[in-house]
A = this chain, B = another copy of it.
Amino acid sequence: MPQAQYPSELLQRAVNEVSRLPGIGSKSALRLVLHLLRQDKMQVEALSESLLRVRNDIRYCSVCHNICDTEKCSICSNPNRDAKTVCVVENVQDVMAIEATLQFRGLYHVLGGVISPMDGTGPADLEIASLVERVSTQEVEEVILALSPTMEGDTTNYYIYRKLQDTGVKVTVIARGVAQNDELQYTDEATLGRALVGRVPFRG
């Protein structure tokens, strides 16, 4: 809808604001706003207020830098978690994804991104210094690197590995190979090649 003429300034302003969100064009934004016009005032107030509150009142855990509502997140303050193992991830979604596996009882360290010269993200923009300090000052025995298997992830893995070398901590990286339930013939060459090179003894 090029140069669409909105019948109302209020409508236009709302559509403009909504269409600033990633992946939402002006047509989708118009559809969403018109949907809200048909909802209860209370629901729109709840939406509006929750966005304001999450932006203004959200906090970041002083230990792992994950999003939380308090000074220290519920994972870091859980005495049943293994504080000797720290899993380094890119963002909140990755913490949630790993938690959903129920396979990890250690703590996290949320970098807030990966090193990406293309996007202008350097090591100083990430929580790398705080990771090094955490490993140096606390009793951490193993750091698990669980970044995405991309060039940026690999670069960041290597940077962190170098930074942690002096601390003597054990640094591991999550396994790479063919994905569970993927069909071999449709697996890309890079993944398949890496799975071959990285083969491990069969445990029957």
List A22-47 residues whose CB lies under 8 Å from chain B: 22-23, 28, 30-37, 39, 41, 43-47
Cα distance A40–B28 when bound, in Å? 23
Closest to A56 in B: B41
Cα distance A151–B27 when bound, in Å? 24
Whether B55 lies near A36 (C-beta < 8 A) is yes
Known: A6-B96, A7-B67, A10-B69. A52 touches B44 (CB 8 A): yes
Total copies of the chain? 2
Which candidate, A11-19, A80-88, A158-166, A188-196, is the interface stretch facing chain B? A11-19
- State the main secondary structure of chain A at its contact with B: helix
Whether A100 lies near B1 (C-beta < 8 A) is yes
CB distance from A189 to the nearest CB of B (A): 29
Choose among B20, B51, B96 the residue that contacts A7 (Cβ–Cβ < 8 A).
B96
Whether A37 lies near B58 (C-beta < 8 A) is yes
CB distance from A21 to the nearest CB of B (A): 6
List the B side residues contacting A75 at CB < 8 Å: 7
Among A4, A18, A49, A51, chain B packs the most CB atoms within 10 A around the CB of A51
Whether A7 lies near B74 (C-beta < 8 A) is yes
Choose among B3, B10, B54 the residue that contacts A54 (Cβ–Cβ < 8 A).
B10
List the B side residues contacting A22 at CB < 8 Å: 31-32, 35
CB distance from A35 to the nearest CB of B (A): 6
For A106-129 the 0/1 string (1 means CB < 8 A from B) is 000000000000000000000000
Closest to A4 in B: B96
Whether B1 lies near A92 (C-beta < 8 A) is no
| A50 located at the interface, meaning its Cβ lies under 8 Å from any Cβ of chain B in the complex | yes
